[in-house]
């Protein structure tokens, strides 16, 4: 039992390492990272809908994105700017939570739901449309042709990518907020809306990402089959 647990533990952390390496592979890494960008920008959009309108979302080849909104209130702009990194980190955690509770089908539905909503209502730039269609098509093909074990491994890899990239993205915005606070994206926007400087907001984004990462890893290690009982990766 101890040997099995050690092997599963190694497999779990190999998934995280593989996710980290994949997002740094030229071209392929940027393509993969757009899944986190999609969640990030959707977070902006969902909050913006509470007090404004979403005009368009762009998903770019370099893995960056932008959400164009119209909001007439200060509080709407504030929470919309705050939502992106927080929503991405929360989504990574929830992905591990759902896999741990064996809700893989529901997770698939949610991921495809994000893609469908963006394709119908928000994303209009050519690369964004290409990414949504190609990712959804490839994702569905792999799920249909693959075994249940393959499906579980694929979803764990996607969850690992979301987790790793949410932390990396938060670190990047933190670094920019310190070195170039006028070009730090959401941290810069929040600094303009408040009297709190960009580095503080960058620190908040990084801390919340690390917090969700910790609990995501904890959930993954103890709930994804990395114990003495059988789990989704025990095949």
In a domain, 23, yes or no: no
pLDDT value, residue 47: 94
Rounded Cα distance, 225 and 219, in Å? 10
Written as tens digits, the pLDDT of the chain (235 aa) is 444 455 556 777 889 999 999 999 999 999 999 999 999 999 999 999 998 899 999 999 999 999 999 876 899 999 999 999 999 999 999 999 898 888 888 999 999 999 999 999 999 999 999 999 999 998 888 888 878 888 888 999 999 999 999 999 999 999 999 999 999 999 999 999 999 999 999 999 999 999 999 988 777 665 555 443 434 433 3
How many domains does the chain divide into?
A: 1
In a domain, 28, yes or no: no
pLDDT value, residue 232: 40
pLDDT value, residue 27: 93
In a domain, 6, yes or no: no
In a domain, 30, yes or no: no
Strand 52-59, strand 65-71: pairing: antiparallel
**What one-character DSSP code corresponds to residue 123?**
B
pLDDT value, residue 37: 97
Domain ranges, residue 110? 39-223
**Residue 165, token pair as written in the block:** 């990239």
Integer angstrom CA distances of residue 45 from 33, 132, 167: 19, 17, 21
Rounded Cα distance, 211 and 204, in Å? 10
Rounded Cα distance, 177 and 16, in Å? 27
In a domain, 11, yes or no: no
Roughly how many angstroms between the first and final C-alpha of the chain, as a whole number?
14
The length of the chain is 235
* CA-angle at 201, arms to 178 and 84, nearest 5°: 115
In a domain, 103, yes or no: yes
């Amino acid at each position: 039992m101890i040997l099995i647990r050690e092997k599963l533990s190694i497999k779990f952390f190999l998934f995280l390492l593989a996710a980290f390496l994949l997002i740094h592979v030229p071209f392929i890494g940027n393509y993969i990272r757009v899944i986190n960008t999609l969640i990030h920008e959707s977070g902006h959009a969902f909050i913006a809908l509470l007090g404004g309108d979403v005009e368009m979302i762009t998903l770019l080849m370099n893995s960056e994105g932008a959400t164009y909104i119209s909001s007439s209130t200060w509080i709407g702009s504030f929470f919309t700017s705050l939502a992106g990194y927080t929503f991405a980190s929360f989504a990574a955690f929830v992905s591990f939570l759902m896999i741990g509770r064996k809700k893989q089908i529901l997770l698939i539905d949610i991921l495809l739901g994000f893609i469908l909503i963006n394709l119908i209502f928000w994303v209009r730039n050519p690369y964004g449309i290409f990414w949504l269609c190609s990712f959804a098509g490839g994702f569905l093909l792999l799920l249909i042709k693959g075994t249940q074990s393959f499906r579980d491994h694929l979803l764990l890899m996607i969850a690992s990518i979301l987790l790793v990239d949410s932390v990396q993205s938060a670190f990047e915005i933190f670094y920019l907020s310190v070195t170039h606070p006028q070009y730090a994206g959401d941290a810069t926007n929040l600094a303009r809306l408040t009297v709190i400087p960009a580095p503080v907001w960058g620190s908040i984004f990084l801390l919340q990402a690390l917090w969700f990462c910790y609990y995501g890893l904890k959930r993954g290690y103890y709930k994804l089959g990395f114990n003495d009982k059988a789990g989704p990766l025990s095949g």
